[in-house]
Structures are given as C-alpha cells and as structure tokens.
A and B are shown apart, each in its own frame.
Chain A
Amino acid sequence: MLLIRCPYCEETLPELEFVYAGEAHIERPKDPSSLSDDDWRDFLFMRSNVKGPHFERWRHVHGCARFFNAVRDTVTDRFLATYKAGEKRPSLAELEKAE
C-alpha cells in the first residue's frame, strides 16, 4: 500500500484514506463560451499522460477531506512531493536534487 503525506494533516497516511483526482494545474478557462470547440475539448479531455514525474490531484477523502497536489513518478509509483492546493508547482530539478 502506498503511504501518502497529506499537507493539511501533516501526517503520512495509508492510501486507502485517499482518492486520486486527475492531473493537477489545469486551469478552467475564465470564459468557456469564447473558446473554440477544439480548445474546449483539450481543456475537458486532453491530458499529458506523463511517463515519470506527474503533477496530479489527490483528495484526503477519509480524513480532512481536502484536495491537494502531488508529484508522483508514474513509473515507480514514488511520491516526490505533496503540497497544498493553490501553492506553486514545485520545480522538478529541485525535487530531484532533494532525492
């Protein structure tokens, strides 16, 4: 079982308390009706499908109930970092240096 650090609870807890919630840092367009069909399709459906460190959302659903962001390596399943929603995306170079 994966152990995931919740940045709100500040505890490292079993995966069973969490749910995955898709790719992170995808900004909803401010004015959706001004978008072309292709741009709207890309916002709704197109994801980066990274092999390696992936920025993604998780929710501590059986816990503080908060959404937060994580960087997880999709090859090794290793979490490089978790951080609160709204915080800046950490730099991969620095995360790898810290490893």
Chain B
Amino acid sequence: MTFHAQKRPVAAAGAVTIEDLAPEARFSLRGDPADAGILGRTLGVDLPTAIGTRNEKDGRTALCLGPDEWVVLAGEAERDAILDAFAAIEADTPHALCDIGDREVSVRIVGPDAAALLAMGCPRDLSHLAPGRAVRTVFDGVSIVLWREAEEVYRLDAWRSSAPYVRELLETGVVELRAGL
C-alpha cells in the first residue's frame, strides 16, 4: 500500500467553511450572581448560572462565562433599548454593562472537519463541549469565546485586534486539511 492510498478520500478532506458574521449588539454584563434574577428580567432572558450554558429568548442571547460574567447578544437595533433598560435599574442593582460590539468579531465554522480545524489552535477536548454550550477558551494563545451551535457548527468570537491572526491560522488550517495533511 502506498502512502497516498492511506489518505482520506479527497472529497472528504477539508470539508469545512469559514463565514464572517454580521455585526450585532454585544455586551459584557457583570453583576452579583445573587442579582441574576433581576438582571435577567431586565434583559428579558433568564440568566444562566452554570458556566458554559446559554439561554435565548426573542432574539436575545445570554451566555454565562464566569460566576458573575455574561455575554449578551442581540440584534443591532436593540442596542439602545438594552442600555436604557439596565440604566433604569442601576441605582438599586449595581452591575456593569459594557458595550463590546466594536471589540469583537465572529466567524462561523461549519462542516465535518470543523472540530479538526479548531483543534489546530484550541487545546480543549471539543468532544466534551456539547452542542448548545459555549465557553471562553484559547486559540493559539488568543482568548476566544467558542460556541458549539450544533454538532458540526461552531462560532468563534475573537477580539478585533487578534482576529486577523486567528483568521489567518484558520485559513491556513483549511488549506492543510484540503491537502490531506
């Protein structure tokens, strides 16, 4: 048997696509976990309290990143409404809501080789990241938030300043996968 005969079929190699996602309203929300109830009612989404879990309602998403830290996503048009709603509870419920819409950019990585591509930079065992969960982790030294949206669908959020580096590594990875490396 030759070396080439052992390679995977060409059609299956590099079966992964990278897609840029449109801008959206994004916030970092920090607050006392004991206030999760009121903070969630203000947002209109129950705040999840288990790290790595997310809740979604009416186009708004809350992801628990840490014991007192959430990421909030919504349509761009909802940005001001969310800021106003939280400003109204500020006096009684101390919290920090920070607009990070300009700080991060996202890509969606889709396909049977998506996990193999991400494994080039992410040391986590992605088979333990169940579909529906999302976590902050690391990609070749860069902090990212990795969402597993479905079995073979991932979303990667990176800070704008490190995004070109992450993107370039991913593109290189796709070429390597296609070449059967």
Evaluate contact between A64 and B65: CB separation under 8 angstroms. yes
Q: Which of B52, B123, B136, B138 contacts A65 (CB 8 A)?
A: B136
Residues of B within 8 A of A61 (CB): 143
| A42-99 residues at the B interface, CB under 8 angstroms | 61-66
User: Chain B interface secondary structure, helix, strand, loop or mixed?
Assistant: strand
Q: What are some 22 contacts across the A-B interface (CB < 8 A)? A: A1-B123, A8-B51, A8-B67, A9-B51, A9-B135, A11-B128, A13-B124, A14-B123, A14-B124, A16-B138, A17-B124, A17-B137, A62-B136, A62-B137, A62-B138, A62-B143, A63-B66, A63-B135, A64-B65, A65-B69, A65-B136, A66-B66
Shortest distance between the CB of B172 and any CB in chain A (Å) = 20
Chain A interface residue count, Cβ-Cβ cutoff 8 angstroms? 15
Residues of B within 8 A of A9 (CB): 51-52, 135
Chain B interface residue count, Cβ-Cβ cutoff 8 angstroms? 14
Which A residues form the contact surface with B (CB < 8 A)? 1, 8-11, 13-14, 16-17, 61-66
